[in-house]
Chain A
Amino acid sequence: MKTTVRIAAGLVAIPLVVAACGGDDSTAEGSGGQISYWLWDANQLPAYQECAEAFHESGTDVQVTIEQYGWDDYWNQITTGFVGGTAPDVFTNHLARYPQFVAQDQLLALDEYVERDGVDTSIYHEGLTQLWVGQDEQRYGLPKDWDTVAIFYNSEMVDEAGLSPEDMANLEWNPDDGGSYEAAIARLTVDANGVRGDEPGFDSNNVDVYGLGLAGAGEGFGQTEWSMYAFSNGWTHTDENPWGSQFNYDDPAFTEMVDWWRGLIEKGYMPSFAIADAGVSMMESYGAGNYAMVTEGSWNTGAYIELTGVETALAPTPVGPAGERASMFNGLADSIWAGTDNPDGAWEWVRFLASAECQDIVASHAVVFPAIEESTELAEAAFSERGIDVSPFTVHVEEGTTYLAPIADKWAEVTAIMGPTMDSIMSFSADTTALSDANAQVNALFQ
């Protein structure tokens, strides 16, 4: 009997002891000048670690701990952190997410701090700072970097197809016959018998190498999937940006573009949606030599260039019917969580992240383009040292052909409607006529 009681008492004590262990750890973290900083891109981690070291050396008593979570888990972690009170003090924020966070009162407005410390917001690329001002006219982030979209192509395949880098750099596109862009895609497509897409006898059901890769249907955002075609066809997501409330997914300029784009699947020049959605990423298929070219964001440049077995080069997005090229211009920023117990320390770190000192460090790592104009030049130099000509990305900034990423309230709801709609269109289970219905649903959200 005594042993029984002892065992029972012991077992009951386990959770208490365990609770005590864990509890100690979590209280230790919030104290002093400690702040936590989260980002999702491992490729950028070394750059920001170097920033943190420079920050610590600058004589501050704020101690920064950097944590990185993959994109898939990142937003889950942040939102559960908001609810559970364990979110990071400072984190890398995305345009598609922040309006919702603002609506939920989870972000700290930075205006007071910006004013107090006289931060000069004119040093950043035009438009980037404005992106982070909410509908309430308050600022919720300081810009850290920007990205545009370009064509990544397998130069060996382009060579074999008899195309030159100049050809690739001067493609033009239209929604009727696809222009020289579609001609190049057809030329780069090769079926199992070695017949090219523009040659007689091409078997579109038995394709070995697709001229153009497909990552997905792009939901309502389409950044790297279709936005460059749509913008160059004179289309924008919303009536005004930021904070538009009328969406244009039923505009003929958009539907004719989608019809042309998915037509590439029927012609056998682009893999089916089922292939794109099967779990093997576009980068892997490209690396395996199944795609001759893809449209991708600048943040993935390094990852593509370093793939072994394929030689990758860049070309700007094609010129559209509007007479110029186009690319979405997206920018990330660092935001402070409203629930931080150390807002001053968090601000000190955000200010440093947005300073030329840190952005120059980031530039030297040649992974992304920093938001500060002068730091961008450093990044270009660092990229060319790695043997990468990034002008296909920067040309949009120079020529003013950038289109700001759409910023709207309720983006999660928009995605919930447009995601399945675009998927069903690209998998041919619906026609582009479905877009008018979806657009009506989206617009109803803002009434």
Chain B
Amino acid sequence: MTINEKQDELIEEFEFLTDWVDKYEQIIQLGKELPLIDEQYKQDKYLIKGCQSKVWLYPEFKEGRIFFSADSDAIISKGLVSLIINVLSGFSPEEIMNADLYFIDRIGLKEHLSPTRSNGLLAMVKQIKLYAIAYDAALVKKE
């Protein structure tokens, strides 16, 4: 599946949830299902700044692809980061760098993207893209 196919799948999943509280119920469920990152990676180095809650994001680079795992002390933040990881984890740095994350707007989470909101969906996306840029640069160097 491509990044866009994954996004479309999520949009479909949320389409039937018209009530806001139901949408958040779904996000909370995703948060509860999110595999936790290894305790050893829950350190300040992997903490995303700009969140009212704490979000740890750990990248692993394997065979040209980046795999992300994450955790948060707030379950909704965990659900939000889970959504993004579902879409972006397991792709090449280039694919991640160029991804247009239209699903966030389409499932109605645009308000979480405001730069002044302290819950940091924008910060999570930014951090993931920064990792992709870093790995991409490392790959270019190797070549």
Same complex for A and B? Answer no
B residues with CB within 8 A of A: none
